Amino acid sequence: MSDQTLVEVKALSKRVRDASGELTILHELSFALQARTSVAIVGASGSGKSTLLGLLAGLDSPSGGQVLIEGQDLFALNEDERAAMRARLMGFVFQSFQLMPNLTALENVMLPLELAGQRDAEGPARAMLERVGLGQRLRHRPRVLSGGEQQRVALARAFVVKPRLLLADEPTGSLDHATGAQVMELMFELNRAEGTTLVLVTHDPQVAARCERQLKIEAGRLVP
């Protein structure tokens, strides 16, 4: 594997069983992702995009194949080891923000640093919230923040750990167009500044076009 390859996917498949029998969601996908690149995963609803993202994160288990992160087979690790790898290497941004409602913006961004055992979590968290334009909202809880502000907190939380790999699932899907455009501009700006590998699931062709590469999935298969 190349020194510049961060993620390598080999013959990755996912099958589930339902009342009608076995359903194949992903059919033996193989590709590599270089470090410091941006990649959009595109395709129709139900094509397997979010399933693929969950497998790249090790949040779901494949029916076959491998996901190598920095050469390490993700599914050769146990659950605790995969969680440790996520904490060390990955950041996440979700459509539904996934903020802790009982924590302030500052506490939400401090949380992954504290879980990683970093002593001074407040300093970096405060600085990252300043970078996303929320320096005046540190003590506010999610319920009093707008959708765009909540997603900015989520971006700050994702980038504060300086992840090698950032996984984003429809990060602007619940925002209006103008707010979504602002959030995406901020995400790409942070991504360039931090040198992160960005893997982004999106339905928006304009967002996908901003990525250096696109992976198109149709009915669980990669297509040209």
pLDDT higher than 80, residue 135: yes
The helix/strand/coil state of 67 is strand
Assess if residue 67 is contained within a domain: no
pTM metric for this prediction:
0.88
pLDDT higher than 70, residue 222: yes
CA distance 61 to 67: 10
CA distance 79 to 57: 12
pLDDT of residue 122: 96
CB atoms < 10 A from the CB of 3, how many?
Answer: 7
Assess if residue 86 is contained within a domain: yes
How would you classify the pairing of strands 5-18 and 64-69? antiparallel
What is the number of H-type helices and E-type strands within the chain? 7, 10
Assess if residue 201 is contained within a domain: yes
CA distance 75 to 58: 7
Assess if residue 151 is contained within a domain: yes
**pLDDT tier, 117 (very low <50, low <70, confident <90, very high otherwise):** confident
Tell me what percent of the residues of the chain surpass a pLDDT of 90: 73
Q: Which amino acid is at 173?
A: G
**pLDDT tier, 224 (very low <50, low <70, confident <90, very high otherwise):** confident
Assess if residue 17 is contained within a domain: no
Q: What CATH number did the domain enclosing 204 receive?
A: 3.40.50.300
> Mean pLDDT across the chain, nearest whole number?
92
Assess if residue 102 is contained within a domain: yes
First to last CA, the chain: 23
What are the tens digits of pLDDT across the range 170-195? Answer: 888 888 888 888 889 999 998 889 99
Looking up tokens 């099958």 gives 15
Assess if residue 68 is contained within a domain: no
Q: Which amino acid is at 116?
A: A
Question: Span 118-128, mean pLDDT?
Answer: 94
Q: Which amino acid is at 32?
A: A
Assess if residue 9 is contained within a domain: no
Q: Which amino acid is at 107?
A: E
| Domain of 185, in residue numbers | 37-50+77-218
Q: Kindly list the distances between the CA atom of residue 11 and the CA atoms of 4, 42, 142, in Å, as whole numbers in the listed order.
A: 21, 19, 40
Question: Chain-centre distance of CA 45, in angstroms?
Answer: 18
**pLDDT tier, 2 (very low <50, low <70, confident <90, very high otherwise):** very low
- Count the domains in the chain: 1
What are the tens digits of pLDDT across the range 56-73? Answer: 999 999 999 999 999 999
